[in-house]
Structure 1
Amino acid sequence: MKLFMFAIGGDYRNSNVELHDVRFATGETEAECYPELHRQWWGDAESLHLDAWGELAQADGYDITISAEPVAAGQPRLFFVNLGGYNGTEFGELHKNLLLVAEDAKAAVARALAQVQGWNEPHKDGVFEVDKALDLSADLARRGLHLHLRPASAEQPFRFSCGYIPIGRMPETYPAG
């Protein structure tokens, strides 16, 4: 079982531009995750598409494995942190997505804010805003799966693919699951 991160997009009701979200799903391949992405998508089903995807085999210097075996108490957890801000040269809000290993959400947020660079305007209230900090370890545990983190012997960058892959109109071709 592998953990995948997806940047998905599509339309919602009468939106003027397509909307995007970052979602996580488990499977042996990206394609095995498509039914789960459909269940998670809140927009118009037929417009759902992938914009980026990749397996999370490692994050923040830790190897990642998924299993049914519970994690020992007191182990660090994996957080997805989404930061929002502006740089003054691009119209709209910019986002930075981080995967951080920490003891709790407060520590993950503090580490994320320390990494903000290149934005000269705050999101709101004079500070860079953490739009969302998602505890991926807890999210998987609610589904009966457990995220195990082990310090990596060598750090590897997150390898991902980008492209427009429509998945909204072909659920009958997805693997069972």
Structure 2
Amino acid sequence: MNLFMLLLGCKPSSRHVEQHDIYFGIAERLGELVPSIEAYWPEAKGEIHVDAWRAVTKVGSYQISISEEPVNNGSLKLYFVNMGGYKPNDMEEYHYKEMVVAYNLEEAKEVAKETVFFKHHISPHIDDKYGIDVDDVYEIEELLPALFKGKYYVKIREEQHDFLKEDDITNGYFTMEILRDQLE
């Protein structure tokens, strides 16, 4: 089984521009997530798509895997951090999505502050708050849809050597139909 991180996009009927959200799911193959993706964002009314995705196997110096049995990660947890910032004279809020392994929310925020994104933006923030706010740092297991909770567990193992390959991020425009086709 794999932990997948997806950037979902859709344009709900009452909106003028496409909106995005991050979705985490667990499956053997990406296409198996289609029903839970559609249930996650019902306002999309079947018009949802994936703009980017990755199978999460490495975060920093840690190997990430999924277990069907409860695991003992000590106090380590996997976190998702969404940071945003602005550029002068640009009507856009840029976001940087970071995954970190840390012992607690405070440490996760500190690790996120060390990213290139945070250091190179004049007014970095998470959503509309300046600075890093604990409300916008999430433990991955909290973000998983209910159908995965208690059935799968995130396993975190520190690698002493840098043998782990960085996760590939696949960008594009993938409809639910394209994802379903991956099952065949």
Which stretch shifts more, 33-42 or 18-27? 33-42
Map 1:144-163 to 2 at 5 A: 144-152=151-159, 153-154=161-162, 155-163=164-172
Aligned to 1:72: 72
5+ residue gaps, structure 1, are: none
Q: In 1, distance between residues paired with 2:180 and 2:31? A: 12
C-alpha distance after superposition, 1:140-168 (max 9, x if no partner)? 5734311111112324322111111111x
Q: In 1, distance between residues paired with 2:166 and 2:182? A: 29
Q: Percent identity?
A: 27
How much has 1:34 moved relative to structure 2? 1.4
CA distance 1:94–1:67, change in 2 (3 Å):
same
CA contact (8 A) 1:83 1:129 kept: no
Q: In 1, distance between residues paired with 2:168 and 2:150? A: 25
CA contact (8 A) 2:38 2:46 kept: no
Aligned pairs, how many? Answer: 174
Determine helix, strand or coil for the equivalent of 2:8.
strand
Aligned to 1:134: 138
Which stretch shifts more, 104-113 or 139-148? 139-148
C-alpha distance after superposition, 1:23-80 (max 9, x if no partner)? 1111111111111111211432221001001110111211111112212263301001
Q: In 1, distance between residues paired with 2:33 and 2:129? A: 38
**TM superposition score normalised by structure 2:** 0.82
CA contact (8 A) 2:113 2:119 kept: no
Map 1:4-83 to 2 at 5 A: 4-72=4-72, 74-83=74-83
Aligned to 1:87: 87
Determine helix, strand or coil for the equivalent of 1:165.
strand
1:119 aligned partner, one-letter code: H
5+ residue gaps, structure 2, are: none
2:119 aligned partner, one-letter code: Q
How much has 1:126 moved relative to structure 2? 5.1
Q: CA RMSD in A?
A: 2.6
